[in-house]
Amino acid sequence: MEIALFVIIGILAVVFAYGVTIYNNLVSLKHNVDKAWSNIDVLLKQRHDELPKLIETCKQYMQYEQGTLEKVMQARSAVSSAWERNDVGALGTAETQLRSGLGSLFALAEAYPDLKANQSFQQLQSRISGLEDAIADRREFYNESVNNNNIRIEQFPDVLLARMFNFVARQLLVFSEEELKDVNIKELFR
């Protein structure tokens, strides 16, 4: 009888320890997703601050390209709005528009030698391009963290604790296929 009691207590202790381990792993995954989002957030803020400087520099040289400049600023506003609402889906769409607009802007700058030679423009272009690369890297890390989180909360036995403690699936940050296409420079000059 005593041995059976020790066996039952031992089994309950193992099950409890296993449950605690699963819970702690789920918490860790959740915080990894939040950390990955924070890394993107920092870069988006930095780029958000740099874009008005770029637009102002371009306005001095590109009097006939106001439509392109306005498109970039509208896309910047859409990114900001989605970012403030933590709407990952809308952020992906807005990011695609912004990246497309920046690609068009940088391509149009080729037609303005004075602008291309402007040191401020060169620095801003380099800074924004660097931020774009960093955002792409962080997006990859974020999506990997989200994927790991989403898989774990659906796997058995993790799903039992995930439902019990309201761990939820997160949304991937996806940009549209449009971003993957090259900018058609001939189309820009029509």
H/E stretch holding 38 reads: helix 2-59
Please name the CATH architecture into which domain 2-188 falls: Up-down Bundle (1.20)
Distance CA 148, CA 122 (A): 39
pLDDT (tens digit per residue) in 123-181: 888 888 899 889 889 999 999 999 999 999 999 999 999 999 999 999 888 876 554 45
* Percent of all residues in the chain with a pLDDT value above 90, rounded to a whole number: 32
Does 189 have pLDDT greater than 60? no
pLDDT (tens digit per residue) in 96-125: 888 888 888 888 787 777 777 788 888 888
Domain ranges of the chain: 2-188
